[in-house]
Amino acid sequence: MGPARRLVRVNPDGTATPPDGTGKPAPPLSRLLGHTADAIEAVRAGRSLTEALAHCPSELRPGVQSLSFHVLRRLGQAQAARVWLAPKAPPKSIEALLLCALALLWPDGDSPYADHTLVDHAVTVARQRLVASSAFVNAVLRRFIRERAAVLDVVQRTVPGRTNHPEWWVERLQADWPDHWQDLLAANDRRPPMTLRVNTRRGTVAAYLQRLSDAGIPGRAVGEHGVVLNTPCPVGRLPGFADGDVSVQDAAAQLAAPLLLAGTMLPPGARVLDACAAPGGKTAHLLELASLDLLALDHDAKRLARVDEALQRLHLKATTQAGDASRPQSWWDGQPFDAILLDAPCTASGIVRRHPDVRWLRRASDVPTLAALQAKMLDALWPLLKRGGRLLYCTCSVFKAEGAAQIDAFLQRQRDACLLPAPSSPGHLLPLPDNEAVTAGLDPAPAGDGFFYALLHKT
C-alpha cells in the first residue's frame, strides 16, 4: 500500500473534493461512506484492507482508502461507543457503517465533516442497505452527538477505547518497551511521511532534490539514499519515477541493503539471496548499490511478479524464483551464497501507521506462530551461506519475540554464527523521532518505520 492520503473534504452539496488537488468532480459522500463501511466490514472479518480496497471502484479508491485509514485509527473508540450506545449488535453491514460514522464524528478536531452532513449521508447509506435500519442509525448517531461527553467517559474505561489497539497488543508493548509503549501507541495513529529512495545508478540525492524543487515538491535528504517529502504526493508527479530514477521506500527499510553490503568486499557478480523478496524494494536497492548475481525468492508467485515489475522499471536484473525459504531442498541448486538477506514474515507491528488494519487483523497467537516460522527459516538458510559470509535478518516488527529474542535463541543453536556489533547490527529501531540510525540528525526528525536488524557472520 502506498503512502497515507489526506482526508477528502466535503463540499456543502455533499460531494467530496479529492485529496490530490485535481479539482475533478467527486462522487457524493454517501458512495464513499458506503464503500468505506464495506472495507471496514471486510477487515473485521479478517481480510486485509489492501484486499478489500481491490474490490472498490478505482475512481473511489483514493477517497475510500483515506476514510478507511481514519476509521481504523479510531476503531477501538468507535467499537466501545457502539457497544454503549446500542448494546445489541445490528447486522454486520449496518454495524460497520455505524463504526465509520462514529469514528468520523469523534471530537478530536480531525474530522472533515460537519456533524449534520455525516449523519445525513450515513442515514442515506443505511436506507440503501436495509430500509428498516435507517431510523436506528439516525437515532444512534444523534444520541452520540448529544451525549458525547458521557460516551467519551465510558470509552476511556476500556483498553481498546483508550488506546485504539487490542488489549493483548498493549500488554506486549508494555512488557517489551516499558519506557516507550505509550509513545509507540501514539506513533501508530500518526500519518507517516512519504519517503523516497534515489536510484544512485541514475543520479545523486542532491540532484534529485533539485528536480523535486523544480517540480514544486519540497523535500529533505534522509539517511544515505533517501528523500522525505514535506507533503505526500501521487507517484505520477515524481520526476523520473516511471524511468526508474526513484522509488517509494521508508527510511528504516532503506538500511537493509547498505547493512548487508557494508564492509563485505563482495566481488562483482557475488552470489546473493534475497530470501523473502516481494514486493522487491530491498532487492532493487541491493542491485542499485552493487553488481550482484542475485536470486530473489518468494513463496508467492503472484507477489513475485511485483519484483519483476519493479526491476523492469528500475532497469535492473535478477533471477526471480518462487520457493519456500524454509525448504531449500525444493529450489536450491547446491551452490552456496556469499550473502543472504532474510526479511522474514512477521506481525508487521512496526508499520501500523502505514497499515492501520494490522492491529485489528493480528491475534496474540500470531506472535509465537510467526516466531517459530522465522526460526525455521533462519535454520534452513544458514547452511546455504559460505563460511565467512553474512546473513542479515530483519523484520518490520517492534515485538522482541521477532527480534532480539529470536536472534538470541539462534545464536544458542548455531555455534558458527557471530552477531556483528552495532552499527552493523542496529537491533530494534522504533518508529519514533529519536531513532538516530534512521533520521541522521534531521531536525525535525521524520520517524522511520519500526524494524529489527541483526547482521550475522559465519565463522
User: For residues 373 and 400, what is the distance between their CA atoms, to the nearest angstrom?
Assistant: 15
Which phi-psi region, left, alpha or beta, contains residue 315 (left: φ > 0; alpha: ψ -120 to 50)?
left
Asked if residue 29 belongs to a domain, the reply is: yes
Give yes or no for residue 234 having a pLDDT over 90: yes
Asked if residue 181 belongs to a domain, the reply is: no
Asked if residue 175 belongs to a domain, the reply is: no
User: For residues 221 and 440, what is the distance between their CA atoms, to the nearest angstrom?
Assistant: 9
- Same structural domain, 93 and 213: no
Cis peptide before 279 (omega within 30 of 0): yes
Asked if residue 65 belongs to a domain, the reply is: yes
- Same structural domain, 143 and 203: no
What does the pLDDT look like over 407-428, one tens digit per residue? 999 999 999 999 999 999 999 9
What does the pLDDT look like over 48-102, one tens digit per residue? 999 999 999 999 999 999 999 999 999 999 999 999 999 999 999 999 999 999 9
The letter for the amino acid at 253 is A
Asked if residue 185 belongs to a domain, the reply is: no
124, 143, 164 - which closes a domain = 164
The alpha helices in 317-382, defined as continuous H runs, are 358-361, 366-381
| CATH code of the domain covering residue 240 | 3.30.70.1170
- Same structural domain, 152 and 280: no
The total number of structural domains in the chain stands at 3
- Same structural domain, 208 and 300: no
| CATH code of the domain covering residue 316 | 3.40.50.150
- Same structural domain, 75 and 215: no
- Same structural domain, 75 and 220: no
Question: Of 9-18, 34-43, 95-104, 117-126, which range is least confident?
Answer: 9-18
- Same structural domain, 206 and 260: no
Closest CA to 188 of 76, 352, 7: 352
Closest CA to 292 of 308, 309, 273: 273
Give yes or no for residue 13 having a pLDDT over 60: no
Asked if residue 78 belongs to a domain, the reply is: yes
- Same structural domain, 355 and 283: yes
125, 148, 164 - which closes a domain = 164
112, 141, 164 - which closes a domain = 164
Asked if residue 182 belongs to a domain, the reply is: no
Give yes or no for residue 20 having a pLDDT over 60: no
Asked if residue 188 belongs to a domain, the reply is: no
- Same structural domain, 258 and 243: no
Per the CB < 8 A criterion, the answer to whether 104 and 40 are in contact is: no
Confidence of residue 266 (pLDDT cuts 50, 70, 90): confident
| CATH code of the domain covering residue 18 | 1.10.940.10
Active site annotation includes 396: yes
Give yes or no for residue 11 having a pLDDT over 60: no
Give the range of the structural domain holding residue 240, as residue numbers without chain letter. Answer: 195-248
- Same structural domain, 289 and 416: yes
- Same structural domain, 212 and 331: no
Closest CA to 428 of 450, 456, 406, 408: 450
> What rounded mean pLDDT belongs to the chain?
91
What does the pLDDT look like over 144-158, one tens digit per residue? 999 999 999 999 999
| From 233, 276, 346, 396, the catalytic residue | 396
- Same structural domain, 289 and 390: yes
Closest CA to 60 of 98, 39, 31, 25: 31
